[in-house]
Amino acid sequence: MRQAQVLVYEPDGRLANLLGELCRGRGWRLRELRHEDAVLRALVDGAGVLVLRVGRSLVEELTLLEQVRWSYPEADVVVAGDIDHPQLATLAWDLGAAYVLLPPQPREQLPEIVAGLMGEAAPDLGTPSVRG
């Protein structure tokens, strides 16, 4: 049986740090990835949740979201970013994100969101980012 995994695609480890305690406590594998091809290879080992930080290179990041949703439809993708951008949120939803975490939502909600997507008790997430 494969170990449940949480993948984090980001440049600096901030989101992975938020998820470390959650993953250790639940026995989930936490993998920090920096390259798109590494994300796609990691998903072969089992879907789980991908946390995709956007904002540095939107074309590549949103292309990765689309590739993941197409190739691994069982994987849930959380799109996270640092700017309040309703059009970006709408596009991420349209491309298949399971959740979009952009300001004004606090990034500290990320562990709750990931736990819910991994099948833990449904967290109280409040209102998600605006959809279209």
Would you state the pLDDT for residue 22? Answer: 95
Would you state the pLDDT for residue 130? Answer: 43
DSSP per-residue codes, 5-38:
EEEEE-SSSHHHHHHHHHHHHHT-EEEEE-SHHH
Would you write out the chain's pLDDT as a tens digit for each of its 132 residues?
A: 467 899 999 999 999 999 999 999 999 999 999 999 999 999 998 879 999 999 999 999 999 999 999 999 999 999 999 999 999 999 999 999 999 999 999 999 999 999 999 997 534 444 444 444
Residue spans per domain, the chain = 5-117
Would you state the pLDDT for residue 128? Answer: 47
Q: Per the CATH hierarchy, to which homologous superfamily does domain 5-117 belong?
A: Response regulator (3.40.50.2300)
